[in-house]
Amino acid sequence: MSELEDAWELALAEAQSRAHATGQADIAEFLTVRRRNDLLRRTAIDWLLNEVVLLAGQANRAGAGIQIEQKEPHRFSRRSATMVGRQVTLRRGVRELTIECGWPRTPRDGIVRGGGLACANIKHFGRRGANSELLLTPLSKDKPHWLVADDDTDRTVFAEETLRSHFVTFLRDD
């Protein structure tokens, strides 16, 4: 976690304690949900980005020559909203795979459309048809799932195999 996220978590905990102490149960409950959702977001984003870095590391040990670049904080757009989070970019020759993940942090940033907690984009430089938009949703209590949300009607669970497929596409020379 970054220092800013640490400070934010501390501020939320203090506000939650004050709300409990002053009998503001509704505010305390809102802050509890907010803290839980922030933890789910960070955990899911860490998983996604760590997995792609792990795949690149394994490929590099086999001689792939992939450059890995990480950026935090990173801002990106999803429709009319602005997401704030992290970005990992893999480069190999002219090929580039970028994964950016985040969620709106302030009211002016907008909202995550589709009932999600966070968004991610997987972008293949020069292969627009291979790109994917992901939506983080809590399918069950306290267990988030990334869904492929390339269109608004058909959503499928984004699993480790799907990430591997994106990585294989990135490595292809055609």
3-state secondary structure of 40: helix
Distance CA 158, CA 48 (A): 10
pLDDT score of 56 more than 60:
yes
Given CA atoms 149, 151, 155, 157 in this order, what sign does their dihedral have? Answer: negative
Of 169 and 140, more confident: 169
Helix (H) or strand (E) holding 118: strand 118-124
Question: pLDDT tens, 3-51?
Answer: 655 665 666 667 667 766 777 677 767 667 778 888 889 999 999 999 9
Is-above-0.85 flag for pTM?
no
pLDDT confidence tier of residue 142, bands split at 50, 70 and 90: low
* Residues whose CB is less than 8 angstroms from the CB of residue 103 and which lie 6 or more positions away in sequence, other chains included: 41, 83, 84, 85, 112, 117, 118, 119, 136
pLDDT given at position 168:
96
